[in-house]
Amino acid sequence: MLYYKFSDYLKKRFGCRVARISVDAGFSCPNRDGTISSDGCIFCDNRAFNIAVRNAGRGPLASQIEDGIAAGKMRYGAKKFMLYFQAFTNTYGPPAVLKARYDIVRNYDDIVALSIGTRPDCVNDEILDLIGSYSDRYEVWVEYGLQSIHDRTLSFINRGHTYADFNNAVRLTRKRKNIKIAAHVIIGLPGETKADIFETARAVGLMNLDGIKINPLHIIKGTRLAASYKKNDLLTLDEYVDIVVGFLEQLSPGTLIERLSADCPWELLVAPRWILDKQGVIRAIEAAMIGGETRQGKKWTKQI
Ligand code: SF4
């Protein structure tokens, strides 16, 4: 096994193809509404998050879910589904409001898993207890946007939280045994060297998280990064592949790899264009791993 694919895990766990339904449940983000900042992360444009979200906009949540189920059945032959609260910050609100929105999952018998995407500074015990309560019927995940362990980078990209916030969120979440934890990281952030990125890989590896989503930095139209980036700052496909392979080597073999490239609609993408061939990027990573006779976790055991 080159790396531990999330799709394989879901298939084995639930006995059939499980498709993810990504929704916009109408939340906001404290990094956009003025609470932390009103500018947002410099790369952020939630329109690029996902096709369903783009098409549905903030249409009714039920319609987004029903469209997602129909599309998953038709395109992938999926029989079961994971509901992913993706857009913006999905724990940003009073617990009663969160519960009212999460509860919609109980209306759909084919949904077997629930995943909540959020910022690491937007959870507390009460919210995590609420999320954990869905483990009565669902596999439950929380996905934290980390992006990098380097506070200077987090500050530059205007995340509005620190690495310590992420560590705290992981610590709080781990007090519950019924919530799985995934982190999102971005490779190629401004000012980061390969050594910096590998420091993030080592730190995440040592945390032995349940899952990770690895994204290449890409520039989306209308973002602040689009106005300031320099073409030479972006990774080439070969550079990205080389770094991802090294990143995977430093992760625990038990961490599920949920994503290795980005999904961005061509009409919103400024650069790099190579991310438009998502399957090609994944094939290139796998080929490099085979050629290099390496695998996820190859360097992980040496660190503990
Ligand atoms: S935390 Fe997420 S939703 Fe908020 S500005 Fe950053 S990327 Fe966008």
Which tens digit of pLDDT belongs to each residue from 213-230?
999 999 999 999 999 998
Indicate whether this model's pTM tops 0.85: yes
Q: How many helices and strands, by DSSP H and E, does the chain display?
A: 11, 9
The residue nearest atom 6 of ligand 1, judged by CA position, is: 41
The whole domain housing 232 covers 6-303
The structural domain count of the chain equals: 1
| Beta strand 211-216 pairing with 256-259 | parallel
* Residue 184 domain-assigned (yes or no): yes
Q: Residue 225: CB within 6 Å of ligand 1?
A: no
**Beta strands at 256-259 and 18-23: parallel, antiparallel or unpaired:** unpaired
For residues 255 and 180, give the distance between their C-alpha atoms in angstroms, rounded to a whole number. Answer: 11
What confidence tier does 79 reach under pLDDT thresholds 50, 70, 90?
very high
The answer to the question of residue 82 being in a domain is yes
Residue 39 has pLDDT above 50, yes or no: yes
pLDDT surpassing 60 at residue 149: yes
Nearest-CA residue for ligand 1 atom 7 is 44
Predicted local distance difference test score (pLDDT) of residue 59: 81
DSSP-assigned letter for residue 271? E
Res. 51: pLDDT tops 50: no
- Report yes or no on 242 lying in a domain: yes
Ligand 1 in reach of 40 Cβ (< 6 A): yes
pLDDT, tens digit, for every residue of 157-179?
A: 999 999 999 999 999 999 999 99
Residue 195 lies in a domain: yes
Cβ of 41 closer than 6 Å to ligand 1, yes or no, is yes
Question: Which range in 82-86, 231-235, 261-265 is most confidently predicted, on average pLDDT?
Answer: 82-86
Tell me what pLDDT residue 4 has. 98
Closest-CA residue, ligand 1 atom 3, reads 88
Give me the phi and psi of 139, to 5 degrees please: -80, 130
Flag whether 1 is in a domain. Answer: no
Separation CA 141–CA 132 (nearest Å): 9
Mean pLDDT of 177-188: 98
What number does the ligand 1 atom closest to the CA of 29 have? 4
Question: Could you tell me the pLDDT band of residue 47, with boundaries at 50, 70 and 90?
Answer: low
Parallel, antiparallel, or unpaired for β 111-118 and 80-85?
parallel
What does the radius of gyration of the chain's CA atoms come to, in whole angstroms? 18
What are residue 23's DSSP bridge partners? 85
**pLDDT value for 115:** 98
| pLDDT over 80 (residue 266) | yes
Give the pLDDT band (50/70/90) at residue 49. Answer: low
Q: Is the CB of 93 under 6 A from ligand 1?
A: no
CATH value at residue 161? 3.30.750.200
For residue 40, give the ligand 1 atom closest to its CA. 5
Report the separation in Å between the CA atom of 275 and the middle of ligand 1, taken as the mean of its atom positions. 21
Distance between CA 126 and CA 71 in Å, rounded?
A: 34
Could you give the CA distance from residue 181 to residue 173 in angstroms, rounded to a whole number?
8
Q: What is the pLDDT of residue 302?
A: 52
